[in-house]
Amino acid sequence: MVYYITTLMVYAGVDAIACLGLSQQFGVGGVTNFGFIIFQAAGAYAAGVLSLPSDSANGGFQSYILGWNLPFPLPWIGAALVGGLLAIPFAWIVGRRLRGDFAAIGLLVTAVMFNVLVNNYVPLFNGAAGLSLVPSPLQSALNPQSTGYQWGYGAVAILLAFAVYWVVTRLTNSPYGRTLRAMRDNDAVADSLGKNLLALRTSSLIVGGAIAGLSGGILVGFINLWDPQAWGYAETVVLFAAVIIGGLGNHRGAMLGALLVPVAFEEATRYIPPVPNDPNLVPALQWVVIGLLILAFLWFRPQGILPERRRKLATRAAPEDPGLPFAIRTPDDRGAGIPAGAATGPVAIADLPAQSGSEVILECRDLTRSFAGVRAVDGVSMTFERGRLTGIIGPNGAGKSTVLAMLAGTLQPTSGRVLLHGHDVTGLPAYRRARLGLVRTFQLASEFKRLTVLENLVCAIPGQRGETVRGALLGRRYWGAQERDGIERAQRMLERFGLLALADRYAGELSGGQRRLVEIMRALMAEPDVLLLDEPMAGVHPHLAHQLGMALVALCEEGTTVVMVEHELSIMDEFCDPVFVLADGRVLAAGTMEALRAKEEVVEAYLVG
Ligand code: ADP
Ligand code: MG
């Protein structure tokens, strides 16, 4: 009985730790690693061969590498290290190129390769026979068979689970965790805001791998065996089931899920007496039940038992009289990233300082992009000058969004060059360009849905101290002050746009127009030198669109360069100079709207048709 209970305790600890690792990697970071169990297996193997004596010592009946006979706790530390190191080839294989479903398949394939290798390469891993006689921790000093040892092992496993919970919670509740969640919700947007997706995914894989490795180390010291068959896809499914059922993105949910699925279903029911004549029936039914549970949750409660909790950052309440839902608020609140002139009155383009139009900040030369042989953009050259609000118009499908994406680095051109501040940035990924001050918004809704409005804004702030694993682990004392400033700045921005009341709402719950505004404010929080806006006014209340236009003009007055793709010609008339007309992937004309309206070919191509 004692043995049964302590075994359950150890399994509970081990499974909870593994689920926390998966919760951090998959639930928070959105990295679907179907090879997760491999990291647990690798950690277990590492702990085994680090604690076993050399393989010739016991008559050579099994072969393995190392055999260093290290004292406790070094094998467990080694298990975590190996789990983390193994993540590096995985990250390298998935890399920058594979995302979402493709990354998941890539990780699965990698895991399959490891599995086949381990099962069949005898000198390294003793093939399918695995390892046996793995020493228990401290077995030279203590008696592993004693009741006290058993209870102690169970208690240590559970204590370590809480320690891991503490670590992942600290990571998740930091700017680093917020950035991971942003990447999970929309990676292309996170990229365009200067977040290094490769580094974020790699860190997710390493942290999750190290945690999984530790769990494997704890397990192998208890059962004294390492059997490669024990780490199959079924176990991966069980862990995913636990995290999904417990609640994606909620670490308490992951712990609960670990108790419900692997412990309750797999371990506790292991001792149900088999049906006579049909010993496989009970295990098979277990699998059916786990499968049905996953499906039921995916169907009816995808957020799990304990849903991800909403993180409320707002320190200020909304003003009592919100007035017009979209009205830009009082002009006297400075410092929200938009100069105070924004709402004071129209700023005519002629009023702009004369020298502001002289310096070319952004330029593209002969930009071409083909999709499946069709040239969506065909030799576009444009220059954008500091402090100007340049417009791009053109019929649907003219290639406007494609040009914008190539300027920002979201899309690589088939040929042609992009120059920022006179430097060729054609080869730079979007996040590097964003860090150089080139920030874009997207034509389609691109808010981080499961971040609050305020989090959407704060997330975009460049150079946050708590945005790395190290910074996050150092804690609030390290990044808290900067975070408070960021929140304050974001609140001022929200106040200016009349959205402070929505600060703690999930961005995914807002109306289309409100989401547009959140995206623009978020881009402004990144403090861009050059802001590329893809139809920012679409779906926005006309009154607000006008206010927004004035805010952009005021921004330009301060030296920011704005490029705006827009459908609404009245907006172009009022705010943009110069304006490029795109048609069929080429620049048809450029100039002031007045001049463009006088050109027959422009009128034919766009203004009428
Ligand atoms: P606009 O923004 O001016 O409406 P786009 O730049 O979105 O136009 O698209 C230009 C052309 O390129 C369209 O014909 C569109 O169908 C095509 N296109 C854009 N993106 C893709 C893509 N990812 N794959 C295939 N075709 C695309
Ligand atoms: Mg478009």
- 135 CB near ligand 1 (under 6 Å): no
The full DSSP string for 40-98 is HHHHHHHHHHHHSPPTTTTTTSS--S----PPTTHHHHHHHHHHHHHHHHHHHHHTTT-
* Closest ligand to Cα 444: 2
Q: Would you place residue 398 in the very low, low, confident or very high pLDDT band (cuts 50, 70, 90)?
A: very high
Q: What is the CATH number of the domain that holds 516?
A: 3.40.50.300
Q: Which residue of 402, 442, 567 sits with most ligand 1 atoms within 8 Å of its CB, as the best mutation to test the pocket?
A: 402
Percent of the chain with pLDDT over 70: 89
Residue 28 structural domain: 2-230
Region 461-476 average pLDDT? 96
pLDDT at 512: 87
**Cα 419 versus chain centre, distance:** 28
Q: Are residues 82 and 218 in the same domain?
A: yes
Q: Which residue of 401, 442, 580 sits with most ligand 1 atoms within 8 Å of its CB, as the best mutation to test the pocket?
A: 401
Tell how far the Cα of 539 is from the centroid of ligand 1, in angstroms. 20
Closest residue CA from atom 26 of ligand 1: 371
293-325 residue pLDDT tens: 888 998 999 999 999 988 988 787 766 554 444
Number of domains in the chain: 2
- 376 CB near ligand 1 (under 6 Å): yes
Q: Are residues 34 and 180 in the same domain?
A: yes
β partners of residue 579 = 391, 591
* Boundary residue ending a domain (197, 230, 263): 230
SS3 string of 592-606? CHHHHHCCHHHHHHH
Buried b (16+ CB within 10 A) or exposed e, 457-476: bbbbbbebbbbbbebbeeee
Tell how far the Cα of 397 is from the centroid of ligand 1, in angstroms. 6
Pairwise CA distance, residues 454 & 464, whole Å: 15
Taken in order 393, 397, 401, 403, the sign of the CA dihedral is: negative
Most confident option among 121-135, 176-190, 274-288, 594-608: 176-190
239 occurs within a structural domain = no
* Closest ligand to Cα 394: 1
Region 201-221 average pLDDT? 96
73 occurs within a structural domain = yes
Q: Is the CB of residue 271 less than 8 Å from the CB of residue 265?
A: no
515 occurs within a structural domain = yes
337 occurs within a structural domain = no
pLDDT at 324: 45
* Amino acid (one-letter) located at 359: E
Closest residue CA from atom 15 of ligand 1: 397
3-state SS assignment for residue 153: helix
Which of 21-25, 160-164, 175-179, 312-316 comes out lowest in average pLDDT? 312-316
Q: Would you place residue 532 in the very low, low, confident or very high pLDDT band (cuts 50, 70, 90)?
A: very high
* Closest ligand to Cα 399: 1
259 occurs within a structural domain = no
- Residue 335 in tokens: 């410092």
Cis bond before residue 73 (omega within 30° of 0): yes
β partners of residue 415 = 368
* Amino acid (one-letter) located at 140: S
Position with higher pLDDT, 60 vs 546? 546
Sheet holding 374-385, edge to edge: 374-385, 360-371, 415-420, 423-424
Residue of 255, 256, 289 lying closest to 272 (CA atoms): 289
3-state SS assignment for residue 367: strand
Closest residue CA from atom 12 of ligand 1: 376
pLDDT at 606: 67
Q: Say if strands 561-565 and 579-583 run parallel, antiparallel, or are unpaired.
A: unpaired
pLDDT at 445: 86
pLDDT at 268: 63
Contacts (Cβ under 8 Å, ≥6 apart) of 488: 315
pLDDT at 174: 97
* Boundary residue ending a domain (210, 230, 250): 230
Q: Would you place residue 291 in the very low, low, confident or very high pLDDT band (cuts 50, 70, 90)?
A: confident
Q: Which atom of ligand 1 is nearest to the CA of 534?
A: 2
Q: Is the CB of residue 580 less than 8 Å from the CB of residue 390?
A: yes
321 occurs within a structural domain = no
**CB-CB neighbours of 274 under 10 Å:** 11
565-576 residue pLDDT tens: 998 888 888 899
Closest residue CA from atom 19 of ligand 1: 402
Q: Which atom of ligand 1 is nearest to the CA of 369?
A: 12
Residue of 503, 479, 478, 476 lying closest to 489 (CA atoms): 503
- 401 CB near ligand 1 (under 6 Å): yes
3-state SS assignment for residue 276: coil
Percent of the chain with pLDDT over 90: 57
Most confident option among 233-242, 381-390, 543-552: 381-390
Q: Is the CB of residue 31 less than 8 Å from the CB of residue 183?
A: no
Q: Would you place residue 157 in the very low, low, confident or very high pLDDT band (cuts 50, 70, 90)?
A: very high
Q: Say if strands 561-565 and 389-393 run parallel, antiparallel, or are unpaired.
A: parallel
97-117 residue pLDDT tens: 677 788 888 888 888 888 788
Tell how far the Cα of 401 is from the centroid of ligand 2, in angstroms. 4
Closest residue CA from atom 23 of ligand 1: 371
Tell how far the Cα of 56 is from the centroid of ligand 2, in angstroms. 68
Q: Is the CB of residue 291 less than 8 Å from the CB of residue 238?
A: no
Q: Are residues 172 and 26 in the same domain?
A: yes
- Residue 264 in tokens: 């309750």
Tell how far the Cα of 569 is from the centroid of ligand 2, in angstroms. 15
- 399 CB near ligand 1 (under 6 Å): yes
Judge whether residue 93 has pLDDT over 90: no
- Tell me the C-alpha to C-alpha distance, in Å, between residue 405 and each of 2, 149, 335, 426, 532: 63, 61, 29, 12, 9
Pairwise CA distance, residues 200 & 486, whole Å: 21
Buried b (16+ CB within 10 A) or exposed e, 50-84: bbbeebeeeeeebbbebbeebebeebbbbbbbbbb
- 402 CB near ligand 1 (under 6 Å): yes
State the chain's mean pLDDT as an integer.
87
Q: Are residues 214 and 360 in the same domain?
A: no
* Boundary residue ending a domain (186, 210, 230): 230
Q: Are residues 77 and 223 in the same domain?
A: yes
The counts of H helices and E strands in the chain are 22, 10
Q: Are residues 213 and 362 in the same domain?
A: no
Tell how far the Cα of 378 is from the centroid of ligand 2, in angstroms. 16
* Closest ligand to Cα 397: 1
pLDDT at 446: 93
448 occurs within a structural domain = yes
Q: Is the CB of residue 457 less than 8 Å from the CB of residue 524?
A: no
311 occurs within a structural domain = no
- 245 CB near ligand 1 (under 6 Å): no
Q: Are residues 529 and 400 in the same domain?
A: yes
- 397 CB near ligand 1 (under 6 Å): yes
* Closest ligand to Cα 402: 1
